Amino acid sequence: MEVRVEELEEGLTLNSDVLGLSGYPIIPKNTVLTDEHIEILKAFSISSVDVKGKERKNSFTKSKNQSPVSAVRTQEFEKNTNKQTNLFDLYMNGVVSYEREFKKWQSGLGIDINAVRKIILPLIKTIEFQKDKLIEILDFTTKEKYLFHHAVSVGMISSSLAQEMKLGNGTSIQVGLAGLLADCGMAKINGTLLKPDKQLFSQYNDIKQHVMHSYNMVKNINLLRTETKLSILQHHERLDGSGYPLGEKGKRIHLLSQIVGIADLFHHMVSERVHEKKQPLFKVLETIRHDLFGQFDIQVVNALLSVFARLSIGTRIQLMDQRIATVLFVNDNEKTRPIIKIEGTNEVIDMAAKRNLVIDKVL
């Protein structure tokens, strides 16, 4: 029976998988729905789902030690050991939880740092061993809920970069918190401006004020280090002085600020928004490395490349011109431009010498 998401009730059971744009199940069939599942469906702008009749299934209980989602997983879901499912589950719960906190900030409440930590800490712990899954998580961002996906993603990416740079566990947690809270000041911006179809160029200066709002919201939180608060204030600053709000440059911009800044920019460019289409990941990496050279410290750029330009010999890729190829060799100095062999031919191409060729995606 097809039921509109607005009419769903706790306890109903899905009759079929709910698929995202990537074709991967957002929630698998036979899942007994909770309020958290329903919020996730709304976050993905799913209009209706197929459920087993309208009868409730009352046999499930929640354990105090389990998250609401994990407490009601069916036996089929529990047997699914796909790591992506685990990370996706954490990620979508994080997005829903962040939206809930954001609405509290809009109403005038302060930041509950313990609630914020509960959003990001499980994700930080998980991605430490699953950095390759970050690329897949990027596909789950929706333009309707972009602001909330963006916050959680920037927190995850920032922490992952700190881990890649071996800055220590404490720092990776702090920079993850900074990434998650970098745009919390958007809650203080006129609500009309935050609607996806209202973010016009003429209102850009108003939206830029979110940086100062974010800093003012976190400056008195004792659990955040001084450099964490600074990175929230400076995440739109650039080494060449082209950023805002203060136009700082060079060594006056903290390393953590650059990490959050590059994570913010990267996710912004690879995500689909109402007025802009997402760009191919490898094109974005090359833009940051070459076109924006001088805006970020090279070690931060290299960390971004190490996390997201994960190519190895034998990897199949698709070029922007739709040709399929296999990676033969990866040069550490040109991670986005390997030597490849075009499938179905004997043509071998050194992409470092063919700058017009760009990788569209990894297959």
For residues 359 and 318, is the Cβ–Cβ distance under 8 A? yes
In the block, which residue shows the tokens 């075009």?
Answer: 342
pLDDT tens-place values along the chain, 363 residues long: 888 888 888 888 888 888 765 455 667 778 888 776 787 777 667 888 888 865 444 333 333 343 443 333 333 333 333 444 478 888 999 999 999 999 999 999 999 999 999 999 999 998 888 888 888 888 888 888 999 999 999 999 999 999 999 999 999 999 999 999 999 999 988 655 455 554 444 456 677 888 999 999 999 999 999 999 999 999 999 999 999 889 999 999 999 999 999 999 999 999 988 778 888 899 999 999 988 888 999 999 999 999 998 888 899 999 999 999 999 998 888 889 999 999 989 899 999 889 889 998 888
Measured between alpha carbons, how far is 121 from 159 in angstroms, rounded to an integer? 10
Give which of 6, 75, 2 is closest to 38, Cα–Cα.
6
Supply the pLDDT for residue 118: 94
Supply the pLDDT for residue 233: 95
Element of type H or E holding 35? helix 35-43
Measured between alpha carbons, how far is 159 from 153 in angstroms, rounded to an integer? 10
Q: How, if at all, do strands 25-27 and 48-50 pair?
A: unpaired
Sorted by sequence, the CB contacts under 8 Å of residue 201 that are 6+ apart come out as none
Supply the pLDDT for residue 17: 80
Cα→Cα distances 19→49, 50, 85, 214, 218, Å = 10, 11, 13, 35, 37
Crossing angle of helices 210-218 and 226-234, in 10° steps, is: 170
Q: How far apart are the two ends of the chain, measured CA to CA in Å?
A: 35
Q: How, if at all, do strands 2-4 and 48-50 pair?
A: antiparallel
CA angle in degrees (0–180, nearest 5) for 267-273-274 = 170
Dihedrals φ, ψ of 176, to 5°?
A: -65, -40
Measured between alpha carbons, how far is 134 from 128 in angstroms, rounded to an integer? 10
- Looking at residue 21, its amino acid is L
Measured between alpha carbons, how far is 137 from 101 in angstroms, rounded to an integer? 21
For residues 38 and 25, is the Cβ–Cβ distance under 8 A? no
Give which of 96, 109, 118, 95 is closest to 217, Cα–Cα.
109
Instruction: Please state the pTM of the whole predicted model.
Output: 0.76
List residues bridging with 19 in a β-sheet.
25
Measured between alpha carbons, how far is 234 from 247 in angstroms, rounded to an integer? 9
Give the chain's largest Cα–Cα span: 64
295-331 burial code (b ≥16 CB/10 A, e <16):
bbbeebbbbbbbbbbebeeebebbbeeebebebeebe
Domain with residues 83-308, CATH architecture = Orthogonal Bundle (1.10)
- Give the number of other Cβ atoms within 10 Å of residue 356's Cβ: 7
Measured between alpha carbons, how far is 124 from 58 in angstroms, rounded to an integer? 34
For residues 98 and 111, is the Cβ–Cβ distance under 8 A? no
Q: How, if at all, do strands 316-319 and 359-362 pair?
A: antiparallel
Q: What Rg do the C-alpha atoms of the chain give, in angstroms? A: 21
- Looking at residue 4, its amino acid is R
Supply the pLDDT for residue 76: 35
